[in-house]
Structures are given as C-alpha cells and as structure tokens.
C-alpha cells in the first residue's frame, strides 16, 4: 500500500558579493579598533564575572571569556548546589534562562514566581509570586536597581532588585487588537524595555513593544502585520492583516553603537491556510531593524514569503563582527526552521553571502509565493526526507512526501524540515576565538493539510550540533545526536574551549568546542530546554542551568531543578527521569488485547463512535498490548462509508490491503516488539500494537 510520492525542490546555492553602501562603510570604520571576528565592546562584550542578560549580552552571543573550567579539567566538574525553585512542585514547562549580577542569580519559573538566589550557595534571598495562569517564560532583565519581567496575562512587572518589592505592574491590553501572550525574555536598553508578544498561532495581530522602564507605559509599538497605507501593507489581502499573527516570540538584539534593535517575527495566521491571506504577508517570518529609541522602521528581510509551514523565526538574533572579502562587516544572523543560517549587514540588511529568489513548487489554492529566498552557503540540515542522508527523517509511509517549500492542500503531505525542525528557539552561540557559530538543530518531519498540522505518530526524531563558519555560511563540523536540540536547548561556549548544551533526557553535556567530542555529562533529573550560563564568584567559575522539561517535540520530564556546578563540586547527580520516546508517541492509554477481543476498529476513536477520517487517533484501541503469539483482527466496521487499511511501518510486519466496509484482516504477532501502523487511505490515522 506504499504509495509514497516524492515532490522534490532543487535549489542551487550561490554566493553573491554585493557592493557595500556608504552606511556600511561607516560602520566598518567604527569597528577598525577591533581585530577580525571580535565583537564590538558595547553590543557583545563577552560574559565574564557576571552573566548579566539572557543570552549573555545585547548581541545574544552566548559566549563567556571565563576559562577556569576548560576542556582539560571539565571531568572534575560536579554539582555545587541544587535548588528546587518552586519547592519541588512541578508547575509546567521551564524555559527561563537565569541571569547573574553581583553574585545574585535571578530566575523566573512557569508558576510566575521570580526568585533572587545567592549564586554561590543556592540560598533564596527573596521571591515574588506574581500569580496568574501557569505558562512558560524565558527570563528577566536587571538594570537601574530593578528586575524587569514579563508574565502570563500580558503583564510586565518591575521589582526592587534588592528586596523583590513590586514597583509597578502593567497589563498590555489593546482594545482594537486584543489577546496574545508575553512569553519572551525582557531586554532593557537606555531607559526602555523591549517586550515581544506571542499569539501568532491564533487570530491575533502580533506586536513588539518598547516600554518606559520608569513606569511601564508604552513608548512605541511595532506591529507584526503591516496595515494598509503603511510600508508592507500591500502584502496582505483584504483585512487579513487584522488577525494575521506575525508575533515576535523571542527577545531582540540591540546594537547600542548604531542605536538599532533587531527583532524577529513569527508565522502568519491562519498557519497552514494561505487562501485567505494572499500576498507575502509582511512582517511575518522576517527580521526587522528598527530605531532603538523610536521604533522607526529601518530595514527588513523576509526569510519565508507567504508561509504555510510554520517556518517562523523563533530564534533571537545574534550580532557579530566579521571580516568578509577583506572588509569588516557588522553582522546580524538568524537561524531558520528552513535549515539555513541567514546573515545580514546590521546597517543595511544586505545578505552578506547573498540571497537569490528561487522558484518553488506551486499550489494556486494556497496562493503560494512564486519564489523563496535562498541564502548563499549551505543548509545545516537535510531539506528532503531522504533516509540515505539521515535515517531519522525517513517518512512515514502512505503520505505524499515533499522537501522544503512543498505546498499542500487536501492530501496530507509530509514536509522536511518540519515545523519544529532545523532551528526553533534555542540560544545560538558566536565564539570570537574560533569565529564559528554554534547551535543545536532538530531533525523532524511535519505533515500538513490546509486544515491540520501533524507530527506523524511513529516517526523518528533526532538532532545535530552544528558549527558554522559565518564568513562562508558553510558547516565547519557537525555532530549527530540522538536528541532534537532546538526546542530551547541553548548553546553556551567559553574561552575554556568548552560548549555546554542540555538534552531532553535530563543530561547537561560538555563538548570540545573544536570537534564536538563529548567531555562530560551530568544528570539534572528533568529535561533541559533552557540555555546554560556561567559566572564567577571570588575567582571561582560556576556553570548553571534550569532543568524543568518541555512539551514541544518530546514531552520531557518536568521539574523545577536549578543547578550550579563547579570544579570539585560534591552534590551528586539526580536520578535519571523517564527517557522520552525517540518516536512520536500515541496519546491513548494502553489497552490489553483481551479486553477488546484482540480486535482493532479502523476509523473509530471508541467502540461506539462514528467513523472518523480526520482524527489522527481514529484506531480503537489506538494503543493495543498483546502477548507474543496473539492474532489480532483489524476490522473496517460495516457502518463505515469509506475504505480503510492497516499498514505497518517501518518493519513491514503486516499489510491488510484496502478493506471495504465490513471486511476484516488478521495477523499473528510472533515477535516481541512495538509495531506502528497507519491507514493507507487516510495515512495520518495511526495506531500501535505492542507485543510482549
């Protein structure tokens, strides 16, 4: 029944050398005092004694000049202290990266609690319980003797840095365009707070706010969807801009020397249905440069036009100074779900390795863009689900299968990279010593129709650690990992030639920065989906990470485990949590075969439900458990209006063929194992038989 159809997209990669404009030359002259690939002092000073901002500095470089902990002695790294931030209560996904200022660590949890912690001992100095709905948040800003943070309910708070006493609390409501969330870390710069909104996966108009740090009042707003009569307004059909999404999920980067803030914006809405929002849909899937004080538009680059695949830009931009073709360039980079790293001149927006608009497959009903921009260099993940290149990307059978930018309509279509594939929201590290960009990537497919998005049940997923030379935009080296490493698993690199990254199975791992060789690992007891940090107190270097699980991709073990490590630390590793499944799981509880007569009903969500060809879980029982040697009968009930089948993958254990209503198929399971299968007529409908 395998009627897999491959729709491939072939794009040629070209490196384009474009002339510098006068503004870029001026920026180059300002950087003359720096050696090649060294960050400018104000935007991107390496973290050192402090780790003062989420992602280290205004440039989000995730690099520290500390080197006491090195590739030579990292094996001596042990637990310095462990703090359960919420007292051991599991309150949701933890995505917050701590910051350290003056020996105090500031961290927020999904319970809406903000804590100040002695960074040497792990003792809490004060806490602020904000209340409200539990929800993920990504970190605070510390400035002016205050701690600033976003909260659920579109709230932003300022606390006294010494005591945690609230100074002001505002709610970012808009009567004309209500809704949204504020999940991103807050960034403080020159009296302003930059706060991005989420909500782009619903009928919402995304926006980037600058608030006055003195009282939380709105200084300016940049809208993610361009209104009629404004630049980009012509890229939205009709009134689709009013609910078009384009939310800035992540915090921005800031260049104080240029007085520019760089913000990335997410996907348009409806996510997978482009039929009602014709046009390129600016500023969705774009990086936008704005005047840091006024919010005035300076330039933009749209990485995906008229997005259908949830290829939103969800990584915070990274600033770096490079020397390209003998000329110093101030650069800003964004890693995309498309599998490409996009690198631009910070002043002009010029793609530094060039970018060519390439024709892509079309689906008129989706009003697809005729072309998509392909940057010079090479992709950092495969752009087609080719198992010869990457076994974990082999597509589940019976789907239509396509590569990057393959459109879809009514037939469920697997596309690579998936919507959570390639680069999602993890922290990227730029290391000025090596001149390379490091981050974790995800290898996972997604399946689409105009009305639904699926991660095919039973598909595999894995990941990579990639090191990219930003001068050429080509891989310097890469390392396969068993885990997807892009759902918050941020990368930290240090002058000690070490990089740290957390995994969904709870391990924090240290690697040799030169080649990705594993040097050290430590079990934290919960999935790690935040960025590690490092700091120094009394000349002693610490590494810290907040381990608390995440539902995206794996559903890893939740927790509230804030860890710090130092050389010679004696706190032992935590017990290993349950290992997340390497395959996309079923959601239904296990049902013993004897309870249902060792029978599976095709196209049904229960024994008494009506036929379903839409619900991904329409096999009953979806998760059947039987002893070895059991014969299982698959039934297309007589009352069905459609044909169905049961086709196992990837082991080819059984194939019922197409069954008309009333027909049955039986198979004896004589080998212990886990057998996923889907309906070859409705391939998103999937079940599993576990043989013990």
Distance (Å) of CA 514 to CA 116, 438, 460, 692: 35, 11, 29, 45
Looking at every residue in the chain, the average pLDDT score rounds to: 93
Alpha-carbon distance of 260 to 291, in angstroms, equals 5
Mean pLDDT of 466-472: 98
The proportion of the chain whose per-residue pLDDT surpasses 90, expressed as a percent, equals 88
Give the confidence band of 91 by pLDDT, cuts at 50, 70, 90.
confident
- Residue 632 tokens read as 């299982």
Please, are residues 196 and 247 in contact by the beta-carbon 8 Å criterion? yes
Alpha-carbon distance of 295 to 194, in angstroms, equals 10
Alpha-carbon distance of 459 to 457, in angstroms, equals 6
Q: How many angstroms separate the first and last alpha carbons of the chain?
A: 27
| CATH homologous superfamily of 591-691 | Cupredoxins -  blue copper proteins (2.60.40.420)
What is the reported pLDDT for 41?
44
Give the confidence band of 21 by pLDDT, cuts at 50, 70, 90.
very low
Alpha-carbon distance of 204 to 206, in angstroms, equals 6
Summarised one tens digit per residue, pLDDT across range 138-152 is 999 999 999 999 999
Please, are residues 262 and 195 in contact by the beta-carbon 8 Å criterion? no
Give the confidence band of 224 by pLDDT, cuts at 50, 70, 90.
very high
Is the sign of the CA dihedral 26, 187, 342, 389 positive or negative?
A: positive
Q: Beta-strand (E) ranges in 216-272?
A: 218-223, 244-245, 253-255, 260-264
Residues whose CB falls within 8 Å of the CB of residue 439, separated by 6 or more in sequence, listed in order: 315, 335, 423, 426, 427, 428, 429, 465, 466, 486, 491
Alpha-carbon distance of 263 to 116, in angstroms, equals 28
Give, in degrees to the nearest 5, the angle at Cα 104 between 103 and 110. 150
Give the confidence band of 426 by pLDDT, cuts at 50, 70, 90.
very high
Please, are residues 249 and 226 in contact by the beta-carbon 8 Å criterion? no
Summarised one tens digit per residue, pLDDT across range 49-63 is 999 999 999 999 999
What is the reported pLDDT for 12?
34
| CATH homologous superfamily of 5-567 | Quinoprotein alcohol dehydrogenase-like superfamily (2.140.10.10)
Please, are residues 483 and 59 in contact by the beta-carbon 8 Å criterion? no
Question: Does 589 sit behind a cis peptide bond, omega within 30 degrees of 0 on the bond before it?
Answer: no
Distance (Å) of CA 676 to CA 449, 580, 673: 22, 17, 10
The proportion of the chain whose per-residue pLDDT surpasses 70, expressed as a percent, equals 94
Mean pLDDT of 314-338: 95
Give, in degrees to the nearest 5, the angle at Cα 466 between 461 and 471. 145
Please, are residues 547 and 530 in contact by the beta-carbon 8 Å criterion? yes
What is the reported pLDDT for 20?
30
Please, are residues 98 and 116 in contact by the beta-carbon 8 Å criterion? no
Residue that has been written with the tokens 């070859």 in this structure: 680
What is the reported pLDDT for 97?
97
Q: In which residue ranges of the chain is CATH 2.60.40.420 found?
A: 591-691
Summarised one tens digit per residue, pLDDT across range 391-400 is 999 999 999 9
Distance (Å) of CA 420 to CA 146, 227, 352, 488: 35, 29, 26, 11
Within 13 A of 463's CA, how many CA atoms are on the CB side?
Answer: 26
Mean pLDDT of 403-411: 97
Q: For the sheet containing 436-443, what is the strand order? A: 429-431, 436-443, 462-469, 474-481
Alpha-carbon distance of 442 to 436, in angstroms, equals 19
Q: In which residue ranges of the chain is CATH 2.140.10.10 found?
A: 5-567
Beta bridge partners of 290: 261, 297
What is the reported pLDDT for 587?
86
pTM of the model: 0.92
Alpha-carbon distance of 205 to 690, in angstroms, equals 45
Alpha-carbon distance of 19 to 324, in angstroms, equals 12
Q: For the sheet containing 124-129, what is the strand order? A: 99-101, 104-108, 113-118, 124-129
Q: For the sheet containing 507-512, what is the strand order? A: 63-64, 491-494, 498-502, 507-512, 518-523
Mean pLDDT of 599-605: 97
């Amino acid at each position: 029944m395998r009627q897999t159809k491959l729709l491939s997209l072939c794009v040629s990669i070209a490196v384009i050398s474009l002339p510098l404009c006068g503004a870029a030359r001026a920026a180059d002259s300002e950087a003359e005092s720096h050696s090649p690939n060294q960050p400018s002092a104000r935007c991107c000073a390496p973290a050192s004694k402090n780790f003062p901002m989420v992602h280290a500095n205004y440039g989000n470089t995730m690099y520290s000049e500390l080197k006491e902990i090195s590739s030579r002695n990292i094996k001596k790294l042990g637990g310095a202290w462990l703090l359960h931030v919420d007292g051991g209560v599991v309150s949701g996904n933890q995505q917050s990266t701590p910051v350290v200022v003056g020996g105090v660590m500031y961290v927020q949890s999904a319970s809406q609690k903000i804590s100040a912690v002695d960074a040497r001992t792990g003792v809490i100095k004060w806490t602020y319980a904000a209340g409200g709905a539990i929800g993920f948040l990504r970190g605070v800003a510390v400035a002016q003797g205050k701690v600033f943070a976003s909260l659920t309910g579109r709230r932003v708070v300022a606390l006294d840095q010494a005591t945690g006493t609230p100074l002001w609390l505002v709610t970012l409501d808009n009567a004309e365009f209500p809704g949204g969330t504020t999940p991103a870390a807050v960034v403080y710069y020159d009296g302003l707070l930059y706060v991005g909104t989420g909500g782009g996966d619903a009928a919402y108009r995304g926006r980037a706010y600058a608030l006055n740090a003195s009282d939380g009042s709105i200084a300016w707003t940049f809208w993610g969807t361009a209104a009629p009569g404004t630049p980009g307004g012509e890229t939205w059909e009709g009134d689709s801009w009013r609910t078009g999404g384009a939310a800035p999920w992540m915090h921005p980067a800031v260049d104080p020397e240029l007085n520019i803030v760089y913000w990335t914006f997410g996907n348009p809405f409806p996510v997978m249905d482009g039929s009602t929002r014709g046009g390129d849909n600016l500023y969705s899937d774009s990086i936008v440069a704005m005047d840091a004080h006024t919010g005035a538009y300076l330039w933009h680059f749209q990485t995906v036009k008229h997005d259908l695949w949830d290829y939103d830009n969800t990584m915070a931009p990274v600033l770096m100074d490079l020397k390209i073709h003998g000329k110093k360039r101030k650069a800003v980079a964004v890693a995309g779900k498309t599998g490409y790293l996009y690198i631009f001149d910070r002043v002009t927006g010029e793609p530094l390795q060039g970018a060519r608009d390439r024709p892509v497959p079309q689906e008129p009903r989706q009003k697809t863009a005729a072309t998509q921009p392909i940057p010079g260099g090479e992709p950092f993940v495969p752009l087609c689900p080719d198992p010869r290149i990457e076994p974990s990307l082999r597509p589940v059978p019976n789907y239509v299968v396509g590569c990057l930018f393959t459109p879809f309509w009514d037939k469920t279509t697997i596309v690579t990279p998936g919507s959570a594939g390639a680069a999602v929201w993890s922290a990227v590290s730029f290391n000025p010593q090596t001149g390379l960009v490091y981050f974790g990537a995800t290898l996972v497919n997604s399946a689409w129709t105009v009305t639904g998005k699926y991660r095919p049940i039973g598909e595999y997923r894995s990941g990579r650690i990639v090191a990219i030379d930003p001068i050429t935009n080509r891989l310097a080296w890469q390392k396969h990992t068993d885990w997807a490493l892009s759902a918050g698993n941020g990368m930290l690199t240090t002058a000690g030639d070490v990089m740290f990254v957390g995994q969904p199975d709870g391990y924090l791992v240290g690697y040799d920065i030169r080649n990705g060789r594993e040097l050290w690992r430590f079990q934290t007891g919960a999935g790690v989906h935040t960025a590690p940090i490092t700091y120094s107190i009394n000349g002693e270097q610490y590494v810290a990470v907040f381990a608390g699980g995440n539902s995206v991709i794996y559903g890893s073990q939740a927790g509230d485990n804030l860890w710090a490590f130092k050389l010679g630390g004696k706190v032992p590793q935590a017990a290993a949590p349950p290992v997340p499944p390497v395959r996309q799981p079923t959601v239904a509880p296990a049902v013993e075969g004897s309870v249902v007569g060792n029978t599976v009903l095709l196209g049904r969500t229960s024994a008494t439900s009506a036929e379903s060809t839409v619900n991904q879980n329409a096999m009953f029982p979806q998760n059947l458990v039987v002893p070895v040697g059991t014969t299982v009968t698959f039934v297309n009930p007589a009352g069905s209006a459609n044909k169905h089948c049961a086709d196992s993958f990837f082991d080819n254990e059984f194939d019922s063929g197409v069954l008309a209503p009333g027909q049955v198929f039986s198979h004896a399971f004589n080998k212990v194992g886990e057998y996923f299968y889907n309906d070859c007529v409705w391939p998103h409908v999937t079940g599993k038989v576990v043989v013990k």
